[in-house]
Amino acid sequence: MRKKGIFLWILVIILSTGLTATGCQSTPEKRTGEPGVRVEDEGKKDDAGEDESDMDERQAEDIPAKKVKLQFRGHACFLMEVDGLRILTDPYSPQVGYGTLDVQVNVVTVSHEHMDHNYTAAASGAQIIRGLTADGLGWEDVSFAVGDINISSLATYHDDAAGKLRGRNAVFVFDIGNLRLVHLGDLGHVFNEGEVEKLKPVDVLIIPVGGHYTIDAQEAKQVVEQLSPAVVIPMHYKTKVIRNWPIAELKTFLEGEENVKEKGSKPVYITRDELPKSTEIWILEPAKL
């Protein structure tokens, strides 16, 4: 009996030692980031010993390459189409002067509740995604997926006084396969470091440049420098349609710029593989309604 007891004690000691040396293999908790922000595994190495967090995750094989059809409809309104899904940004009221919008789309995004950005009657039956709460005093936490498009938002202001002058604004981020398009709405300030980190990397930046109600030409240049997009598409500037508005013409923003491409009023087609190597400014003329 004594020998049997000693044997059992030895067995217990061996098993305990094995468990201590091996440890518990726990599954890492899946982390999620803020809307529009990619969260990567820290310290993960690839076969070459490089830290994958330093690599552009959009090169991963499981992220599809997509072609975006984009057309300017005037002011801050753009129509984008991906695999038959159609999205309209910041539709304007007919009172603005660009004509009456009447389009068939799946989704409408609204950066803030001003009549030149929130005319949702232009797309009856569409899913409406608002960046602000109904009272305009807060931001909606947008995280919406349709097809291969993920739509998220970033809380910003319509002015450089924390909303005291013109209220709040929502920046919309469209992650379309391996392409990221950002629509700034009526952004009224340059970004802080935290906001830049949440938005980057940006492939296509749609940015207001007219000033007065939004950032002006020089501030827009600062934002472009902050985000380093491949393509910059200006919006929200003075045209013959809104000649009486106290905002600057497009030429003010273009002063001193070299990589400017005139694209006309027809839709442009964008894929990540065909993006320019250095930043270009694309001038889109409003499509005839």
Tell me whether residue 48 is in a domain: no
Tell me whether residue 13 is in a domain: no
Nearest Cα residue to 72 out of 282, 265, 289, 269: 265
Tell me whether residue 31 is in a domain: no
Residue type, 84: G
Beta carbons of 283 and 234 less than 8 angstroms apart: yes
**What region, left, alpha or beta, does residue 25 occupy, with left being phi > 0 and alpha being psi -120 to 50 degrees?**
beta
Q: CA 236, CA 21: separation in Å to the nearest integer?
A: 64
Provide the domain count of the chain: 1
Nearest Cα residue to 285 out of 253, 263, 269: 263
CA dist 146 → 56, 97, 174, 236, 253 (Å): 23, 31, 11, 27, 34
Tell me whether residue 26 is in a domain: no
Tell me whether residue 50 is in a domain: no
Q: Would you report the helix, strand and coil content of the chain in percent, each value rounded to 5?
A: 20, 30, 50
Q: List the CATH number of the domain containing 234.
A: 3.60.15.10
Tell me whether residue 97 is in a domain: yes
Beta carbons of 149 and 176 less than 8 angstroms apart: yes
For residue 204, list its beta bridge partners.
Answer: 181, 231
Which backbone phi and psi does 119 adopt, to 5 degrees? -80, 80
pLDDT of residue 62: 66
pLDDT of residue 65: 86
pLDDT of residue 61: 52
Q: Which residue numbers in the chain have pLDDT < 50?
A: 1-55, 60
Tell me whether residue 42 is in a domain: no
Domain limits at 133?
68-284
pLDDT of residue 288: 74
Tell me whether residue 27 is in a domain: no
pLDDT digits 0-9 by tens, 7-59 = 444 444 444 444 333 333 322 223 233 333 332 333 333 443 444 444 455 55
Q: What is the dihedral of CA 269, 271, 274, 275, to 10 degrees?
A: 90
Nearest Cα residue to 245 out of 210, 286, 206, 215: 210
